[in-house]
Amino acid sequence: MQLRSINPVNGKVIKKYTSDSDAAINKKIAQTHTAWLGWKETTHAERSSLLNKLAGVLKSRKDELAKLMALEMGKPLTQGIAEIEKCASVCEYYAANAAGDLKDQLIETEAKKSYVSFQPIGVVLAIMPWNFPFWQVFRFLAPALAVGNCGVLKHASNVPGCALAIEDMVKEAGFPPHVFQTLLVGSDKVNQIIENELIKAVTITGSTNAGKKVAEKSGSLLKKTVLELGGSDAYIILEDADLELAAETCVNSRLINAGQSCIAAKRFIVVKSVEKDFTQLFLQKMQSRKTGDPLNAITLVGPMARVDLRDELHKQVQHSIQKGAKCILGGEVLLGPHAYYPPTILTHVKKGMPAYDEELFGPVAAIISAKDENDAINIANSSVFGLGGAVFTKDKKRGEEIAATKLDAGSCFVNALVKSDPRLPFGGVKQSGYGRELGLFGLYEFVNIKTVYIA
């Protein structure tokens, strides 16, 4: 079997890669387990030094890596450079903080001494998507290496170049051989890899259906999982919102990475009294974002990653229109071998339409009308997803209460777009998965939280 890297701008094959054989898969996992036996004995200072070196490698190669992303999955260069800089920042964050966060925690009991110790567990399998082909991996890899674990990566089949580049950078930074390796395989090999006795845990970022399959297989073998799955983030615009700020923020969130982000804004729930004004501002700003060549430094919206994904999105748009949604911008596919889809706005979106009920993984915005604050919150929470959400209001106390206690999501922002941050835990609820990445809590997901008791 071969993996192919295809340029979404023109449909041309960039490069073909030979998939790893079963023997090669098992050999790589065994090599990484052997590497772990040494890596787990390293000090926090040694790990931190190498993580800082890895951050330096990322920064020195950011232009090259941004171009690779543009070619393999269509990300505009400026966004690609920002992604690589963020990968460097997560390495630096854990280099600076992991030692303190993983200190033994003394607990007073009848014992002479009792405490909690955090110990590495072994080789973690990471199953990662194409939309942020470096960041998704590094937000698993940096904390994994910081706690003393090792990793193998099953990356998305359309970004093998990015997957191999990560392995190459880990080597360049000076990490011991095989602490991290890429498995060049398709999804048909995932169950087999999970079954390998040397794989101790699994983390996946992907669709809800993929997450369920991974959780089912891993659960049958009693292997820990972290699932970061789909999202249909709701952004609530209340009657007292700064509409200029709200519209600008909402457009930026909806169109980042051509709308192909789990935490991109997707449903815009607008209180009726400001719906007309918000929609007009939103339309003006969406119209100004033109699609273009991702290798052009001024491009803000590139193509979608694959033609099949573009076609699936278009079907969701058409189906929503057939059910009564109004398309006020975009919604048309231009002929050609490319994967471009124009920034699109649907209004009059109601329950029963794909734009209301499903995740739209592309540059399509759904505007939903709400009677008032309570109605807006109920609409936001009616989704099966619960990854992120935002609320726009000039009353920050009101916004904080809604974000903290009213919205069913793993991350809730006030007057800002939802984003991941190395310092803050990231993950979802409901069909958006479970477990957390990043921050202090991301460190604790794949460690043995061990009680030590000395009489």
Catalytic residues: 228, 262
- Euclidean distance between CA atoms 430 and 232, whole angstroms: 12
- Euclidean distance between CA atoms 19 and 3, whole angstroms: 6
Residue type, 239: E
Copy the structure tokens of residue 435: 């477990």
Three-point CA angle 316, 10, 232, nearest 5°: 30
- Euclidean distance between CA atoms 264 and 134, whole angstroms: 17
CA atoms within 13 A on the CB side of 7: 14
Helix (H) or strand (E) holding 59: helix 44-60
Q: How many CB atoms lie within 10 A of CB 173?
A: 18
Spatial CA neighbour of 141 closest among 98, 180, 96, 183: 180
- Euclidean distance between CA atoms 390 and 264, whole angstroms: 11
Strands 364-370 and 344-347: parallel
CA dihedral 14, 16, 17, 19 (to 10 degrees): 130
Phi then psi for residue 289, to 5 deg, are -95, 100
CA dihedral over 384, 351, 272, 330, signed as positive or negative: positive
Question: Based on the number of CB atoms within 10 Å of its own CB, is 161 exposed (0-12), middle (13-18) or buried (19 or more)?
Answer: buried
Phi then psi for residue 115, to 5 deg, are -160, 170
Sorted by sequence, the CB contacts under 8 Å of residue 99 that are 6+ apart come out as 44, 45, 48
Copy the structure tokens of residue 110: 């009848």
Sorted by sequence, the CB contacts under 8 Å of residue 305 that are 6+ apart come out as 8, 73, 74, 130, 131, 158, 258, 260, 339
First to last CA, the chain: 58
